[in-house]
Amino acid sequence: MVREKIKILVGEDSSIIINLTKSVLAFENYEMKAARNGKQVLEMLSKEDFDLILMDITMPILDGIQCTKEIRKLVDTKKNRIPIIAITGNAANHTPEDFRKFGFNDFIQKPLNYDLVLATVKKILS
């Protein structure tokens, strides 16, 4: 039986990070879609199911923290419990406890180390 691919949504406004992440995740057999801002993340999540979200904190229109808070408030219990990993370029601005309070399951710092990104994704999905 062929197992369905795990679907990951990436909220990130940098096309460089999107292309790189998509390629790295594809190498590990994950399927990835991208949203350029928090509003797009919410729109895509309303239309489609994902197994995990990688969410950049700093995005235009609706940032990653606000977007995560909105997701946790959704009525759909499958969607509001989706694991979300924060991606932050300014980790010093927040403590791990802050990230948990915002609703994130874990966080990764930029510059991205893709070995760590993959290990964190695997850890959360397990």
Partner 1 sequence: MKSKNILIVENKQQDLKLFEYLIGQIHTFDSVSTGKEALIKLSTNPPLLILFSLTITDIDPASFMERVRNQVKDSCEVIALVPTKDDSNSFYLEKLGFESVIHKPIHPKEFLLKIKCLVEKTIEKETQKSTASKYPTILNSASFQQLFRLSSKEVIHQVYKDFEIECDSILQQIDSSMEKITREEFLRSIHTIKGNSGTLGAEKIYEAAKYCEILGKDQKSIEFSNSLAYLKAVILEFQEFLRKNPTVYGA
Give me the least distance between CB of 121 and partner 1, in Å please: 10
Residue 63 in tokens: 């940032």
CA distance 103 to 3: 29
What residues make contact with partner 1 under the rule CB under 8 A?
13-17, 19-20, 23-24, 27-28, 58, 60, 89, 110-116, 118-119, 122-123, 126
Give me the least distance between CB of 19 and partner 1, in Å please: 6
Give me the least distance between CB of 110 and partner 1, in Å please: 4
> Which residues have CB under 8 Å from 119's CB, separation 6+?
none
Comparison of 100 and 119: residue with beta carbon closer to partner 1: 119
Other beta carbons within 10 angstroms of residue 39's beta carbon come to 17
